[in-house]
């Protein structure tokens, strides 16, 4: 259990996570960390099985802790089909079929992978009431410690409440070897946190929404560290990998402390996730989450900058002003790391902003502008600015070998 006292109305925050291990060679400690479990169901995909799953399986087997393993196809998506597969394979059939017997569940689900595998296992863990943990293979998103999982269900992406990981094990050597698009995705997911907290502050003041200053500050601090670390990520510097991993885990922890993704997801996620859903609706495989969110962050920054210049609402101006230096930092970082774009078409870009407003029930600058009757005008106006300042290449141009 990780807990802290607080000055907000909740007074105390706690999550059931028992161990967070971020170190070189961390996977060798898996049997020690998971001692007490004897029927561990290991889930990986073909890629994550190669980089970590096989070794974890060996270790668990040596210690008589393994029930069985399921290896999903490479880059398996967190969709209803894969949730179903994990659920169907979770139990082990006994030799003698007993019509009156309940299925023999594992006593633990161990996800070996990053976003997709983790979200898939987290959902199954929640539904069948079996604890789960994760061996993370890439610092690509902030969902390791989260309490929600965005899952693809038909042509919809729905955010479900799920189980929180009991154990989070990050082997820095493995994470440092992760494909670069996944590292960039982690940066993209993280830079948006400034937007999320600013949206949260605006809603606190306009709608009297619950707000926790301590959580907000923790997220902002982790974001600052991640931005610094991002400059040396491409060289696979272990300190940078550590800072990125820890920042992403902390962000997830804050989601869990809060009980919702409010501290980590605002306008940038609503736009990025709308683009993801548009792909799904068209039968395409969605792009990496953090890459979409990164582009959504640039859009949000320019929406806020424009509002700051034009608004006569002194209170909103004051709130935005605090974040202007952070916006400058993100703009400078983008000039170096050049997060590629997934959406360059103007109509699609604008549709993401307009539909993003209602992606979920969450008050953001998108609703603020809509209520003023200005959302369309703003969406139209920021397109050229975003393309000019932040766009260098598309994801496909930059990473042609990537499957998605």
Q: How far apart are CA 216 and CA 284, in angstroms?
A: 35
Distance of closest approach, residue 211 Cβ to Zn ion, in angstroms: 9
- Binding range to Zn ion, per CB under 5 A, among 2-10, 75-83, 104-112, 148-156: 2-10
Distance of closest approach, residue 212 Cβ to Zn ion, in angstroms: 3
Distance of closest approach, residue 341 Cβ to Zn ion, in angstroms: 17
- Which residue, 189 or 279, is less far from Zn ion as judged by CB? 189
Q: Is 6 in the site for Zn ion (CB under 5 A)?
A: yes
Residue 101's contacts (CB-CB under 8 Å, 6 or more residues apart) are: 94
- Binding range to Zn ion, per CB under 5 A, among 7-15, 22-30, 224-232, 340-348: 7-15
- Which residue, 41 or 257, is less far from Zn ion as judged by CB? 257
- Which residue, 67 or 120, is less far from Zn ion as judged by CB? 120
Binding string to Zn ion for residues 25 to 64, with x set by CB under 5 A, is what? ----------------------------------------
- Which residue, 242 or 289, is less far from Zn ion as judged by CB? 289
- Binding range to Zn ion, per CB under 5 A, among 6-14, 154-162, 277-285, 342-350: 6-14
- Which residue, 189 or 276, is less far from Zn ion as judged by CB? 189
Distance of closest approach, residue 159 Cβ to Zn ion, in angstroms: 11
Residue 272's contacts (CB-CB under 8 Å, 6 or more residues apart) are: 192, 289, 292, 293, 294, 295, 296, 352
- Binding range to Zn ion, per CB under 5 A, among 3-11, 46-54, 144-152, 166-174: 3-11
Q: Is 354 in the site for Zn ion (CB under 5 A)?
A: no
Distance of closest approach, residue 257 Cβ to Zn ion, in angstroms: 7
- Which residue, 91 or 272, is less far from Zn ion as judged by CB? 272
Distance of closest approach, residue 54 Cβ to Zn ion, in angstroms: 29
- Output the 3-class SS for 296-346: HHHHHHHHHHHHHHHCCCHHHHHHHHHHHHHHHHHHHHHHHHCCCECCCCH
Q: Could you count the other beta carbons within 10 Å of the beta carbon of residue 309?
A: 9
- Which residue, 192 or 340, is less far from Zn ion as judged by CB? 192
Distance of closest approach, residue 142 Cβ to Zn ion, in angstroms: 6
Q: How many residues bind Zn ion (CB under 5 A)?
A: 5
Distance of closest approach, residue 310 Cβ to Zn ion, in angstroms: 29
- Which residue, 8 or 173, is less far from Zn ion as judged by CB? 8
Q: Is 277 in the site for Zn ion (CB under 5 A)?
A: no
Distance of closest approach, residue 55 Cβ to Zn ion, in angstroms: 28
Q: Is 276 in the site for Zn ion (CB under 5 A)?
A: no
Within residues 198-257, the interface with Zn ion by CB under 5 A covers 212, 214
- Which residue, 341 or 378, is less far from Zn ion as judged by CB? 341
- Output the 3-class SS for 163-210: CCCCEEEEEHHHHHCCCHHHHHHHHHHHHCHHHHHHHHHHHHHHHCCC
Q: Is 8 in the site for Zn ion (CB under 5 A)?
A: yes
Distance of closest approach, residue 214 Cβ to Zn ion, in angstroms: 5
Binding string to Zn ion for residues 173 to 202, with x set by CB under 5 A, is what? ----------------x-------------
Q: How far apart are CA 194 and CA 198, in angstroms?
A: 6
Distance of closest approach, residue 223 Cβ to Zn ion, in angstroms: 12
Residues of this chain that interact with Zn ion (CB under 5 A) are: 6, 8, 189, 212, 214
């Amino acid at each position: 259990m990780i807990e802290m006292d607080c000055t907000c109305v909740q007074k105390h925050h706690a999550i059931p996570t028992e161990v967070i291990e971020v170190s070189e060679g961390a996977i060798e400690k898996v049997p020690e960390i998971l001692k007490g479990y004897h029927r561990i169901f290991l889930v990986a995909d073909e890629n994550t099985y190669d980089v970590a799953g096989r070794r974890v399986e060996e270790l668990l087997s040596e210690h008589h802790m393994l029930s069985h393993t399921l290896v999903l196809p490479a880059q398996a998506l967190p969709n209803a089909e894969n949730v179903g597969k994990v659920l169907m394979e979770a139990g082990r059939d006994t030799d003698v079929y007993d019509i009156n017997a309940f299925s023999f569940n594992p006593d633990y689900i161990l996800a070996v992978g990053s976003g997709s595998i983790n979200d898939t296992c987290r959902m199954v863990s929640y539904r069948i009431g079996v604890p789960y943990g994760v061996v993370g293979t890439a610092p690509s998103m902030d969902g390791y410690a989260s309490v929600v999982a965005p899952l693809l269900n038909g042509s919809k992406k729905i955010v479900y409440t799920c189980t929180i990981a009991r154990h989070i094990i990050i082997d820095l050597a493995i994470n440092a070897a992760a494909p670069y698009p996944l590292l960039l995705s982690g940066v993209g997911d993280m830079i948006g946190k400034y937007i999320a907290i600013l949206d949260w502050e605006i809603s606190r003041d306009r709608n009297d929404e619950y707000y926790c200053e301590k959580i907000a500050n923790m997220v902002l601090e982790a974001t600052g560290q991640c931005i610094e670390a991002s400059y040396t990520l491409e060289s696979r510097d272990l300190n940078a990998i550590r800072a990125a991993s820890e920042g992403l885990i902390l962000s997830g922890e804050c989601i869990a402390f809060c009980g919702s993704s409010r501290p980590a997801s605002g306008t940038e996620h609503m736009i990025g996730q709308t683009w993801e859903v548009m792909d799904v609706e068209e039968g395409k495989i969605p792009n990496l989450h953090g890459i979409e969110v990164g582009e959504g962050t640039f859009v949000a920054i320019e929406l806020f900058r424009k509002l700051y210049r034009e608004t006569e609402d002194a209170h909103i101006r004051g709130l935005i002003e605090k974040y202007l230096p952070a916006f400058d930092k993100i703009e400078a970082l983008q000039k170096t790391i050049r997060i590629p774009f997934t959406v360059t078409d103007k109509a699609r870009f604008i549709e993401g902003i307009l539909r993003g407003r209602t992606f979920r029930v969450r008050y953001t600058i998108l609703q603020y502008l809509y209520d003023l009757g200005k959302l369309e005008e703003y969406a139209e106006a920021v397109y050229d600015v975003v393309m000019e300042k932040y766009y260098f290449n598309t994801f496909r141009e930059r990473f042609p070998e990537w499957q998605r």
